[in-house]
Amino acid sequence: MGECEVLARLPVRATTAMTTSSSPGHIEADDKLFEEAARWHIRLRDPDARPELHDAFLVWVRQDPRHLEAYDRAESLWRSMGNADTAEMRRDEKAIASLVAEGRSRRRAARVAGIIGCLLVAGLGLWQGPDAFDSLRADHIAWTGQRESLVLEDGTRIDLNSGTAIAVDFTDTERRVRMFRGEAFFDVAHDIAQPFVVEMPAGSLRVTGTRFNVDLTRDVADIALVEGAVTLVARNAPDLPTNLSAGHQASVRPGSVSAPQSFDTESRTAWRSGRMIFYRTPLSEVLAELGRYQRGGIVLMNDRAASLPVTGAFSTEDPAEVTDIIAETLGLSVHRVAGALTVVR
């Protein structure tokens, strides 16, 4: 995540209700949406659910704010029906059918739906999410909460941080890696005759052999060079390359490359050993980094707290615990929504 989006889930009085449209087409669309949400609700509680299922759920949630509201309605209705939350029920198609049927029955009887949660989205918010096709285009993926390492045919080693997707394309004249999302550390095998290119949404970098870190946040790529030299090119300014030397970092945007600055190698690459190191880092940036390791991400709903400085070294293994510790220290509260989103305020 980059800048924290504004996302609020407002408490609702038990007597509050919302009258739905009596249009047959509207009711049919609502029923279909509720059925989708009910299926997600049951299957996500399968103890054997794979990480891919959770990632697919987040893609679905981010497509439309109504999806999370429908999911909350399904969860509330499930509990009101007195169903036990057991592994058998989680995987039972009859349980899904029962939940969907009960939802339709209550809709026909009252034509009202209890408002379980309301979403307030500001700006270019969380709902845009990552490209839903990244996983299909990628050759190698590190799912949320995981790290992966791979060695390419030329001997190049790539470490993938949580939530990273890349594709590899080698030809006789060029070694190319397309990076769709996430963060990766490259230890590139030296080969003058076959340059190594990393293609990113904002631009590209070219090397023959070196070590560097690439961190993507939406359409911005932060490049930190540990050894050697690289050439950075913004997508919309191909005639203005920037040369980066060891010990320096720069940000690549579609129209420009920032001026190189020095960086701390230990802090920048701490994720490779499962750590996060912050020194007087604004809380908004800390939570954005923590959100990388947690499905659904973390949203900060307190503008006054966004710039509070955080210093410390934390493990990436349990981002929820780290979030709770930081929030408690700063006098903030943590709310978790639908088992996916975390709201700090």
- Proportion of the chain above pLDDT 90, given as a percent: 48
Model-wide pTM > 0.85 = no
| Per-residue pLDDT at 97 | 52
Report pLDDT for 64. 78
**What is the reported pLDDT for 73?**
76
pLDDT, position 58: 74
Kindly tell me if the per-residue pLDDT of 4 is higher than 50.
no
The pLDDT of residue 164 is 93
166 and 202 co-located in one domain = yes
**Which domain does 197 fall in, by range?**
134-265
Residue 29 — very low, low, confident or very high, per pLDDT cuts 50/70/90?
Answer: low
Say yes or no to pLDDT of 109 above 50. Answer: no
The stretch 208-230 carries a mean pLDDT of: 93
Q: Domain of 276: which CATH number?
A: 3.55.50.30
* Number of domain units in the chain: 3
Domain boundary among 265, 290, 305: 265
User: What pLDDT, in 10s, does the model give residues 187-212?
Assistant: 999 998 899 999 999 999 999 889 99
Q: Does 189 lie in the same domain as 235?
A: yes
Query: Does residue 110 sit in the same domain as residue 148?
Result: no
162 with 257, same domain: the answer is yes
- If asked whether residues 157 and 248 sit together in one domain, one would say yes
Instruction: Using the 3D structure, point to which of 54, 83, 114 is the last residue of a domain.
Output: 114
221 and 301 co-located in one domain:
no
Predicted pLDDT of residue 131? 45
Say which residue, 61 or 241, is predicted with more confidence: 241
Residue after which a domain boundary falls, among 114, 148, 181? 114
Kindly report, residue by residue over 235-292, the tens digit of the pLDDT: 999 999 999 999 999 999 999 999 999 999 999 999 999 999 999 999 999 999 999 9
In-domain check, residue 218: yes
* Mean pLDDT to the nearest integer, 118-135: 40
Lowest average pLDDT, out of 77-91, 169-183, 296-310, 314-328, goes to: 77-91
Q: Which range (103-117, 131-145, 188-202, 329-343) has the least confidence?
A: 103-117
Residues 158 and 261 in one domain: yes
Residue 8 domain-assigned? no
Q: Which of the two residues, 178 and 111, has the higher pLDDT score? A: 178
On whether residue 304 sits in a domain, the answer given is yes
Residue 130 has pLDDT above 80, yes or no: no
In a domain, 121, yes or no: no
166 lies in some domain: yes
Query: Quick check: is 123 in a domain?
Result: no
pLDDT band of residue 67 (cuts 50, 70, 90) is confident
Tell me the CATH number at 257. 2.60.120.1440
Residue 52 lies in a domain: yes
The model's confidence at residue 98, banded by pLDDT at 50, 70 and 90, is low
Give yes or no: residues 327 and 236 share one domain. Answer: no
Q: Are residues 73 and 161 in the same domain?
A: no
Do 309 and 212 belong to one domain?
no
At 145-155, the pLDDT tens digits run: 899 999 999 99
pLDDT digits (tens, 9 = 90+) for 293-326: 988 788 888 889 999 999 999 999 999 999 999 9
pLDDT(102) > 80: no
Q: What is the 3-state secondary structure (H, E, C) of the chain?
A: CCCCCEEEECCCCCCCEEECCCCHHHHHHHHHHHHHHHHHHHHCCCCCCCHHHHHHHHHHHHCCHHHHHHHHHHHHHHHHCCCCCCHHHHCCHHHHHHHHHHHHHHHHHHCEEECCCCEEEECCCHHHCCCCCHHHHCCEEECCCCCEEEECCCCCEEEECCCEEEEEEECCCCEEEEEEECEEEEECCCCCCCCEEEEECCEEEEECCCEEEEEEECCEEEEEEEECEEEEEECCEEEEEEEEECCEEEEEECCEECCCEECCHHHHCHHHHCEEEEEEEEHHHHHHHHHCCCCCCEEECCHHHCCCEEEEEEECCCHHHHHHHHHHHCCCCEEEECCCEEEEC
Do 53 and 76 lie in a common domain?
yes
**Do both 165 and 96 map to the same domain?**
no
Q: Is 124 part of a structural domain of the chain? A: no
